[in-house]
Amino acid sequence: MASPPGHRRASAPRQAAAAFLLALSCCCCFRGARPAPPRVPAVIVFGDSTVDTGNNNAIGTILKSNFAPYGRDMAGGPRPTGRFCNGRLPPDFISEALGLPPLVPAYLDPAYGIQDFARGVCFASAGTGLDNKTAGVLSVIPLWKEVEYFKEYQRRLRRHAGRARARRIVSDALYVVSIGTNDFLENYFLFVTGRFAEFTVAGFEDFLVAQAERFLAEIHRLGARRVTFAGLSPIGCLPLERTLNALRGGCVEEYNQVARDYNAKLLAMLRRLAASRPALKVAYINVYQNMLDLITDPSTLGLENVEEGCCATGKVEMSYLCNDKSPLTCEDAGKYFFWDSFHPTEKVNQFFAKKTLDLCYEQLF
From residue 16, give the alpha-carbon distance in Å to each of 28, 332, 353: 18, 49, 40
Active-site option among 49, 65, 95, 178? 49
Neighbours of 324 (CB within 10 A): 13
Residue 297 makes CB contacts below 8 A (sequence gap 6+) with none
Give SS3 for 140. coil
- Is position 343 annotated as part of the catalytic site? yes
Do residues 298 and 337 touch, judged by C-beta distance below 8 A? yes
Q: Which amino acid is at 156?
A: R
Active-site option among 109, 178, 340, 341? 340
Reference 161, options 113, 100, 110, 104; nearest CA is: 113
Do residues 352 and 345 touch, judged by C-beta distance below 8 A? no
How far is Cα 110 from Cα 292, in angstroms, rounded to an integer? 38
- Is position 49 annotated as part of the catalytic site? yes
What's the burial of 305, exposed, middle or buried (CB within 10 Å: 0-12/13-18/19+)? middle
Q: Phi then psi for 265, rounded to 5 degrees? A: -70, -40
Give SS3 for 358. helix
DSSP-derived letter for residue 151 is: H
The residues annotated with a catalytic role in the active site are 49, 340, 343
